[in-house]
Structures are given as C-alpha cells and as structure tokens.
Amino acid sequence: MIEGLDLRHHTAEQAVGLVDRLVKLYLLVYADGDEFHSEDRYRRQLAGHMQRDGWDLVTATVDGELVGYIYGFPLPAETRWWVGIHEPIPAGFTDEDGKRTFAISELMVAPDWLRRGIARSLHDELLAGRTEERATLLAEPDNTPAQAAYQGWGWQKITKLRPGWEHAPTYDVLMKDVSRNNGEQGLPPSYWLG
C-alpha cells in the first residue's frame, strides 16, 4: 500500500466541490482523447450521473493530491444503461429494479500513479458491502491493461454495447458477481451467460 494513500467515499452532495478536480484528472487521463472525451461532454455526464439515487464516489488522494477515483450507482428500473447492447443476451439480462445491478461508470488513476495498486484499491473500496447481486462496467476493448486487470479482479465479458451518445465507441460489457460481498454464496458463471 502507498504510504499516505487516503480512500474516501463521497455522496453527490459532498462531491459538488470536487467536480473541477474530477474533470481535471479526467482530462489528464484522456489527454490524447477524441471528441467523445471532451471536457464539455464529461461535465454533462458527471452532472447527470451525480443525480442518480445511490451515486457513490471514492477518491484516492496522497498528501491532498487527487491521484484517482471511481464512481457508480445502482441501475434503476427505467435505466438507459443497456441502450445499444448487442444481442444475443439471456432473457431478462437487462431487467433492473434499482437493487439488482451496480454500474461503475468511471475508474481512473493519474498517469504518474499507475501500477501501484491504486485502481484495485478504489475498485475494492467501492464494491465492498454493496447490496446488489451484480456489478457492471463498460471497458474499451483495446485497453489491454484495463482488460487484464478486470479479468484478474473477477470480471467476465458478456457482450458489447455502443451507447447512444454522439461519438461514443463500442465497449465490452463486463459483469461481476458482488452478492458475495453481502454474505451470499454467489452466482455461478453460467448465470451471466444464459
């Protein structure tokens, strides 16, 4: 563990004063990004996500410097998260009720702080104690380090999804059983694959 690493949860209300710092780190991580990774689009995404019930942010700081963060929220019944999902998927796979699936929207670490276990620490902290049965995230297929990390952390690729946002790429849909976090036995891998 990095000496002085501080992981802290924030509600949307608590995170309002952090938005500029979150955006600054996002722009640093996606410095070579395309139009999709613009400041304006990300600010709109962040503002929309922060309005979700149960939104949770975990920041990682070292001596007050923001070195990484992760955030997500439970998917409500009327979610648009699954719009653009590629078929085939198991019947009922996209059915949500606000308690079934926790969606991780962003996980990032400043370039100078990579490969020190910060991403794993953020990931584990956000998912610890979740009451949902599963978690999902969208990963860029060509981000080999992230894909390897997610696989090592127990995530499984299910299908692909291209969100309806302008200039959005096609992502891999990853799922993880988090029911074990709340003392349940857990779901078999075949559960995700139908």
State the DSSP H helix or E strand holding residue 174, giving kind and residue range, or none if neither: strand 171-177
pLDDT at 181: 60
pLDDT at 192: 45
Q: What does the pLDDT look like over 16-63, one tens digit per residue?
A: 999 999 999 999 999 987 788 899 999 999 999 999 999 999 999 999
**What tokens were used for 137?**
């995230």
Task: Tell me the CB-side half-sphere exposure of residue 182, using CA atoms within 13 A.
Answer: 12
pLDDT at 1: 65
The one-character DSSP state at 75 is: P
Read off the pLDDT of each residue in 92-110 and give the average, rounded to a whole number.
97
pTM for the predicted model, two decimal places: 0.91
8 Å CB contact between 194 and 159: no
* Rounded Cα gap, residues 153 and 99, in angstroms: 22
pLDDT greater than 60 at residue 169: yes
* Rounded Cα gap, residues 155 and 147, in angstroms: 9
State the DSSP H helix or E strand holding residue 144, giving kind and residue range, or none if neither: helix 144-152
Backbone angles phi, psi at 105, to 5 degrees: -95, -40
* Residue whose entry in the numeric block shows the structure tokens 């059983």: 177
8 Å CB contact between 164 and 84: yes
